[in-house]
């Protein structure tokens, strides 16, 4: 054991059981210090609760043909999450692939700057 964070009173917030196992193994942390956080996904949004053809429905509603690629980036604070870098990366794709690729960004932020960059880069 390299480090120990044992003996503290502070609760440790963890997202997965694997994280808890790692902390126990590497830092000898007492089990009572862990607080397992629930996932931040509403149950009706889970993949297992979607219609069997939800992919086709979504693509049809958004005008995305079967020969198009869909890149999805999820996260708020677009600058910190690298949305600008994703736009630049997609613009650098070979033209044949780029013209069939759509980037969808989901999250809370002001999209104007990023939309302008995407427009500028084509």
Q: What is the pLDDT of residues 54-63, one digit of tens each?
A: 889 999 999 9
Question: Cα separation of 101 and 14, whole Å?
Answer: 36
pLDDT of residue 3: 47
pLDDT of residue 45: 67
pTM of the model: 0.61
Q: Which stretches in the chain have pLDDT values below 70?
A: 1-8, 45-47
Query: In the 8-state DSSP scheme, what is residue 37?
Result: P
Please say whether the beta carbons of 121 and 87 come within 8 A.
yes
Going 74 to 80 to 86 to 91, the CA torsion angle's sign is positive
Q: Measuring CA to CA, how many Å separate 7 from each of 20, 21, 27?
A: 16, 17, 11
């Amino acid at each position: 054991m390299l480090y120990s964070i044992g003996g503290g009173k502070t609760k440790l917030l963890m997202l997965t059981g694997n994280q808890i196992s790692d902390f126990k193994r590497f830092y000898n942390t007492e089990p009572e210090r862990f607080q397992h956080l629930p996932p931040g996904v509403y149950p009706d949004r889970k993949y297992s609760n979607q219609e069997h053809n939800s992919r086709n429905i979504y693509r049809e509603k958004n005008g995305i043909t079967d020969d198009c690629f869909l890149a999805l980036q999820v996260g708020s604070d677009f600058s910190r999450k690298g949305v600008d870098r994703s736009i630049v990366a997609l613009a650098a794709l070979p033209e044949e692939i780029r013209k069939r690729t759509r980037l969808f960004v989901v999250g809370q932020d002001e999209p104007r700057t990023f939309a302008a960059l995407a427009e500028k880069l084509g």
